[in-house]
Amino acid sequence: MITGLHALLFSNDAAADRAFLRDVLGFPFVDDGGGWLIFKLPPAEMGVHPLEHMPPETKPFHQFALMVDDIAATVADLRTKAVTVTDPVAQEYGIAVHVTLPGGGTIEVYEPRHAVATDL
């Protein structure tokens, strides 16, 4: 059901970081318009670590979104599994919901309405 992961990299100089990812690391990309590059990433994995594993001076932060082909079907499926899911909301980038995790956090799941790099 999940078809991809859309990760966000926040930057003080987005143009420079986009050029680095494009020119130095050689990540394939799509241009969603106006130089807004979306990069295909290598295969990924994710670990979930307890907060006590972080240094005390570090403020935990993460943001990523799971992408799907059909948000309505995904929401229906998740709700049959007793997952708490917000109602879909149209955003500039797609139709999004937030899924509540067992630990209390949330993950955004969305059906993209922007160019995607996952099929490059």
Give the single-character DSSP code of 113. -
Neighbour tally for 71: CB within 10 Å: 20
Which residues lie across from 109 on neighbouring strands?
66, 97
- Tens of pLDDT, residues 5-17: 899 888 889 999 9
C-beta of residue 44 within 8 angstroms of C-beta of residue 106 = no
What does the alpha-carbon distance between residue 99 and residue 97 come to, in Å, rounded to a whole number? 7
Q: What average pLDDT is seen over the chain?
A: 89
User: Which CATH code fits 4-43+59-112?
Assistant: 3.10.180.10
Give the single-character DSSP code of 26. -
Give the single-character DSSP code of 85. B
Q: Would you kindly state where each structural domain of the chain is located, as residue ranges?
A: 4-43+59-112
- Tens of pLDDT, residues 12-37: 899 999 998 999 889 999 999 999 99
The H or E element containing residue 112 is strand 106-112
- Tens of pLDDT, residues 35-92: 999 999 888 777 787 877 777 777 766 678 999 999 999 999 999 999 999 999 999 9
Q: Which has the closest alpha carbon to 100: 88, 86, 84, 79?
A: 84
